[in-house]
Amino acid sequence: MSDDVNLPSYPPLFDPLAFVATLPHLPGVYRHIGEHDVVLYVGKARDLKRRVASYFQKTGAMSPRIALMVSKVVRVDVTITRTETEALLLENNLIKTLAPRYNILFRDDKSYPFLKMTGHAFPRMVYYRGAVDKKHQYFGPFPNGYAVKESIKLLQKVFRLRTCDESVFRNRSRPCMLYQIGRCSGPCVGLVSKEDYAADVLASVKFLRGESDEVLQDLQNKMMLASATLNFEQAALFRDKIAALSHMMTQQSVESRGDDVDADIISVASSDARYCVNLAMVRGGRHLGDKAFFPQHTQDCTLQDVMDAFVLQHYLDDDAPRMVITDMLPSDEAQTALHEALDRKTAWIKQPHGQRKIWLGMAQHNAQLALSRRMQESSSAKLRTKDMADVLGIEEVEGESTLERLRIECFDISHHSGEATQASCVVYHHHAMQNGEYRRYKITDITGGDDYAAMKQVLTRRYEKIITGEGVLPDVVLIDGGKGQVSMAKTVFDELGLDVGLLVGVAKGEGRKVGLETLIFADGRAPAKLGKLSPALMLIAQVRDEAHRFAITGMRAARAKSRNVSRLEEMEGIGAKRRAALLQRFGGMAGVKNASIEDLQQVSGISERLAQEIYKQLHEDAVLKEDDL
């Protein structure tokens, strides 16, 4: 589809004019590369030679931001494509993969959630993210996890479908608490027939598809039939379902009656070069909620640029519904790229009527509200960053704002009585926590519970790469600890030849109360107490707490994995070969634990008796916990 251009090797000093002379008048994608092979910008062009040349002509027409970017370019890589549409698609893929500093970027690293109805004899409702298949039914996507969980909770009240794990379902001897409070019909112990349960599943599916009026009519017919046959108890159950479903539909005030449409509603709001794209989802005529996106690197962009970037980055991977209602149409170029990539057209409606106009009005209002809220939060974050820079005496660097530059890395150690020691590193940059740059480090070859040795190991592993030219040295390295931890960190930095002035320890105050912390400096500065109202201390507390949370979750996951594997090792009759065969067949310990007895028997060397014993030992804690209900 596309081919990399074979270009001559670059001279020691990049000569842009000589490079441009080698480019063809063809469509393609170009990548501006900075020092350390950092991709600064990805762009597409109908004519590569003319487009790339425009960056290096002294016309004075460039914005200060783009001029700064060009000044950092040490080479340009290009890829020729057959068409401009191919170039647009490749540009989008590279932007998502490389996240260049100067491109409009929508950060959304999670897939959208679905409500999944499993294909078991007694289907289960479950929250789900990931690839879909044909064995189960999927409803959505939903804009967020809350919308899925709320839908499951509402459907439990009306149709009483199960949500329990399959292994728990097959091994119950009495109904759980959900049955007691009227949220499940108890299929696990035969309290509902397969036929009646299937009818409830069918009604749930119809409701999720937007056929709510038909579901209500079916329930009313069943209630009348039960009443006519003097089965008043059954009639009362149908009456309660009708009442609950009617109440649910009344609460869903944005539902479109008689219009089982699947559509997305997009509105773009802007203020002071900041943008918010609000995406609302309607499936089966039911409004499922919305989600706000805040693109980065938009200083020199227009509303049209933001709209095109969102449409391409969002829909090329996640697919688009057949209808999108919006207050701004994507460019013809973006629409053509989507049409070719998805092999079907999407109807773009700019001036909707009726209920669809109401949906768009809601999206516009929510976009403005979300943008206002984000700008207030951003102002607060900037205040904290500025105060932090002032407290630590970080000086301005020519051509770059301290507020934008300030990068903080914070470390914490977590273990359980010396077991499963984990170190965390979290990053604060551009006034926000950068989740994509978080790292966990498994600490090995130390005495259990030796936090000093653990800190020495993680700092050495993190920053010895700086010496070889890898990674970025932060402006501040926060250590969650007092003089002892800071002293250990100073030893590491001295050995690596790094500036110890970057090291700042956070010692807890009397009674570990927030606001009483003391900052310990490795370079000999006097300790500092900032006070409860200090914006800098609020920022430090935010970063430190995030490092603590990230370390604890990693430690717990490592501990659980270690204990499960060791439990398999301790089982009688499970040697190295059988253990390896089990782990290989099911892809790890989680797969072994989720396997049924029948699945376990399919593994070579695992008899029925041994499969039962493996299943029993891996699930006895879960079964006991359920029975305690």
Using alpha carbons, select from 567, 502, 531, 537 the residue that is nearest to residue 387: 537
Please provide residue 313's backbone torsions phi and psi, each rounded to the nearest 5 degrees: -70, -30
What are the pLDDT digits (tens) for 608-625? 888 888 887 776 544 333
3-state secondary structure 67-126: HHHHHCCCEEEEEEECCHHHHHHHHHHHHHHHCCCCCCECCCCCCCCEEEECCCCCCEEE
Q: Tell me, what's the pLDDT at 427?
A: 92
Q: Tell me, what's the pLDDT at 258?
A: 45
High-pLDDT (> 70) share of the chain, %: 82
**Is pLDDT above 80 for 272?**
no
d(CA 566, CA 557): 14
What are the pLDDT digits (tens) for 285-311? 777 777 888 887 777 788 898 898 888
Backbone angle region of 326, left / alpha / beta, with phi > 0 → left and psi within -120 to 50 → alpha = beta
* C-alpha dihedral sign at 602, 605, 607, 611: negative
Cis peptide before 141 (omega within 30 of 0): yes
More confident site: 218 or 113? 113
For the entire predicted model, the pTM comes to 0.50
d(CA 161, CA 122): 9
Q: Tell me, what's the pLDDT at 250?
A: 45
Looking at every residue in the chain, the average pLDDT score rounds to 78
Residues near 163 by beta carbon (within 8 Å), at least 6 away in sequence: 124, 125, 126, 152, 156, 178, 184
- Helix residue ranges, H only, 270-331: 303-318
Return the C-alpha torsion angle 163, 166, 171, 173, nearest 10: 20
Under 8 Å between Cβ of 280 and 363: yes
Residue carrying the six token digits 């949370």: 549
Q: Tell me, what's the pLDDT at 30?
A: 92
CA angle (617 as vertex; 180, 120 as ends), nearest 5:
50
Q: Assess whether the region 402-557 and the region 571-627 belong to the same CATH fold.
A: no
High-pLDDT (> 90) share of the chain, %: 3
More confident site: 445 or 30? 30
**Is pLDDT above 50 for 314?**
yes
Q: Tell me, what's the pLDDT at 512?
A: 57
CATH topology for 571-627 is: DNA polymerase; domain 1 (1.10.150)
Q: What is the mean pLDDT of residues 492-509?
A: 87
- Helix residue ranges, H only, 260-398: 303-318, 332-342, 355-392
d(CA 580, CA 158): 46
**Is pLDDT above 50 for 399?**
no
Q: If you classify domain 402-557 with CATH, what class do you get?
A: alpha beta
- What's the Cα-to-Cα distance from 165 to each of 188, 401, 602, rounded to whole Å? 11, 52, 21
CATH of 2-98, one of 3.40.50.1980, 1.10.340.30, 3.40.1440.10, 1.10.1060.10: 3.40.1440.10
Q: Tell me, what's the pLDDT at 398?
A: 46
Using alpha carbons, select from 469, 406, 464 the residue that is nearest to residue 37: 469
Q: Tell me, what's the pLDDT at 267?
A: 92
Question: Which range is least confidently modeled, 8-22, 30-44, 398-412?
Answer: 8-22
Q: What is the mean pLDDT of residues 77-84?
A: 84
- Of 239-248, 256-265, 593-602, highest mean pLDDT: 593-602
CATH architecture of the domain with residue range 263-373: 2-Layer Sandwich (3.30)
d(CA 350, CA 352): 6
Question: Which range is least confidently modeled, 254-263, 385-394, 460-469?
Answer: 254-263
Question: Which range is least confidently modeled, 14-18, 108-112, 315-319, 365-369?
Answer: 108-112
What are the pLDDT digits (tens) for 118-151? 888 899 888 887 777 778 888 877 777 777 887 7
Q: Tell me, what's the pLDDT at 222?
A: 73
Annotated domain spans of the chain: 2-98, 114-251, 263-373, 402-557, 571-627
d(CA 502, CA 126): 47
- Of 281-285, 382-386, 487-491, highest mean pLDDT: 487-491
Using a 10 angstrom Cβ sphere, with 0-12 exposed, 13-18 middle and 19 or more buried, the burial of residue 533 is: exposed
Strands 114-117 and 125-128: antiparallel
